Structure 1
Amino acid sequence: MPSSEPIDPATDLWSQLAYTLRALRESRGLTQDQLAKELYVTRPAVQAWEGGRNRPDRATMQEYDKFFATGRLCESARHHATREHVYSWHEEFFANEAIATCIRAYSASHMPGLLQTEAYMRAAGGQFKNIETVVRQRLARQKRLDEAGAPRCWTIIDESAIRRPCGGEPGIMREQLAHLIAMSEREDLTILIVPESAGVYVGLIGDITLHTLPDLKVVGWVEAHFGGRLLEDPIEVERLQILFDRIRDKALPDRLSRDLIFRTMERLQ
């Protein structure tokens, strides 16, 4: 079966890696079947790596370097790809969220997507041209919280996020805060608030999320303007988990957090 057209290497570093893997194979005049036999993997695996549909692990890249005598070319290319902020980060984020057994999330400035009301989504998403699609997808993601096998969720929110007006209509935030209170009463979902009295702390740098997958692997996410970054390296993931714990240390206990949300809601008359 002839190979498809090579992926565009200018898209991002993962695409560059996929392009490199194909180029190395073709430089030896090998088919995907032949390379698969040499590396003791399957042809679909080689095809997926070259097409950017799957991301090879470090050990695989070490085998590539050994076979093609490229030093640490493939291994280092993968390393840098894992550290890149990519525009399409949300696709993999949603895929992991859909299967996660535990979700730990921190938001510094806004309501976390899984806890937003529809009115809040629309008011806060004015920058999206495809707002209807965004709302539909977000509501669909929230349904998993009510399904069998729903993840255990720990959510930490900075107080500024529950105080910041959204949409110019007090009713929007009042409804949103009432929703937070209702969700915080669930046994499988904990909502904690970092009060303004905590002062400046490490969490203000930006939002983070940790997904625990069914195989107990933990992957981290950090958000940024125009993209986000997936963290899979065990050392980086451990650092992110420590950061999450440090933020949680600044938060109020769940009962006091609920009281603070309630008082804030009551002021929105």
Structure 2
Amino acid sequence: MPPRRAVTGRSQEPRQRFIEELRLLRAQKGVSLRQVGEALGWDWSLFGKMEGGQTIGSPEVAQALDQYYGTGDLLLTLWELALADPSQFREQYRRYMVLESEAVSLWHYAVGVLPGMLQTQGYARGVLAAGGSKGAELDRQVEARTGRSKLLASVDPPQFRTILSEAVLRRPMLCPEAGREQLEHLAKAAGQPNMTVQVLPHGPGLHALASTDVMFLRLPDGRTVAYTESALHGELVEETCSVERLQRAYDAVRDFALSPDESRKFIGQMLEEVPCEPSI
């Protein structure tokens, strides 16, 4: 195993340490990015993006690199630390937002809350406040989140599909009026020609995306990337094999979902169940 360097300066940052190790190990082995890709069976551009800090790849990739360089579980450990680094989430999310604005089509699955593009201000405020945001920061985040809906209302909007777990629709709001407003907004959105809304009822039970929100983006160059999000972190997924695995899981979920027409009726029935505020 190559000698380890002292961790100093920027190398104290988990993400940067991971990047530096990747560059150092490849330089010591004297191989090109293309040679690494050919040896491991991945597109060599992935390793270039990892060394450039654009992505940290997947645990499978880190493990394969450990085997290739003979470094035990060093890179996998550094990958796990980089994944937990808050700065990693911020950088990936910023890159995701850029890609989202360029996407020609989007498809999504929601396990916990509605996608930001479909949230009303009242709903977004409730979700963000529950996460700890308050004051001016809460106002700023609400504006940023609901502002994303402009993408779907542009002159030439992308096609957008969302599959909503029934739990998303039945989650009670602290403000009943905000809940009704959100359902009305969702029902209207489901009627737009560039939008498809489906509901996944409770019946199917557990599935591969049972605890994961995911958004897929089809980009102008034909690539598809994904962004997964759980309660603890979000991750931009660009590696082809990982995206395809997520797409297979998404397709399985879609097979269990109600049709768009049935979903609109389901949302309409839920609206009828929401009590109206009594007039004074």
Provide TM-score, normalisation by structure 1: 0.73
- Structure 1 position 224 matched with structure 2 position 206: no
Partner of 1:132: 139
Distance across 2 between alignment mates of 1:187 and 1:22: 48
For structure 1, the residue ranges without an aligned partner over 5 or more in a row are: 1-5, 28-47, 58-64
Checking the alignment, whether the CA contact within 8 Å between 2:109 and 2:164 is kept in structure 1 is yes
Distance 2:124 2:103 in 1: 23
SS at match of 2:156: coil
Question: What SS is found at the alignment partner of 1:242?
Answer: helix
Alpha-carbon distance change, 18 to 194 in structure 1, aligned in 2, over 3 angstroms: same
Q: In the alignment, is the contact (CA less than 8 A) between 2:123 and 2:179 conserved in 1?
A: yes
SS of alignment partner, residue 157 of structure 1: strand
Q: 1:81 and 1:189, CA in 2 relative to 1: closer, same or farther beyond 3 A?
A: farther
Q: Work out which of the residue numbers 176, 186, 189 in structure 2 matches 1:180.
A: 186
Separation in 2 of the partners of 1:19 and 1:202? Answer: 34
Contact residue 7 and residue 18 of structure 1 kept, 8 A: no
Q: Give SS of 2:162's match.
A: strand
Using the TM superposition, give the Cα deviation of residue 141 of structure 1 relative to its aligned residue in structure 2, in angstroms.
1.6
Q: How does 1:1-269 map to 2 (within 5 A)?
A: 8-13=10-15, 15-20=16-21, 52=53, 54=54, 84=83, 86-88=88-90, 89-126=92-129, 127-129=132-134, 130-166=137-173, 168-269=174-275
Preserved CA contact (<8 Å) 2:93 2:236: no
The C-alpha deviation readout for 1:215-246, integer Å capped at 9, x for no partner, is 11111121123321121111111111111111
Structure 1 residues 164, 49: closer, same or farther in 2, change over 3 A? closer
State the 1:180 CA deviation: 0.6
Runs of 4+ in 1 over 4 A off after TM superposition: 20-27, 48-52, 54-57, 70-73, 80-83
- TM-score, scaled relative to structure 2: 0.70
Closer/same/farther in 2, CA of residues 205 and 81 from structure 1, 3 Å limit: same
Per the TM alignment, residue 202 of structure 1 is displaced from its structure 2 partner at its CA by 2.9
Cα 1:133–1:264, aligned 2, differ >3 Å: closer, same or farther? same
- 1:121/1:7 Cα in 2 relative to 1: closer, same or farther (>3 Å)? farther
Unaligned runs of 5+ in 2: 1-7, 29-48, 58-64, 276-280
For this pair of structures, how many residues does the alignment match?
227
Paired-residue identity, %: 28
Q: Which amino acid aligns with 2:11?
A: P
- 1:232–1:7 CA distance, 2 compared to 1 (3 A): farther
What CA RMSD, in Å, does the superposition of the two structures yield over aligned residues?
A: 3.2
1:17 Cα offset (Å) = 4.1
Q: CA distance change for structure 1 residues 250 and 16 in 2, over 3 Å: closer, same or farther?
A: same
CA contact (8 A) 1:171 1:268 kept: no
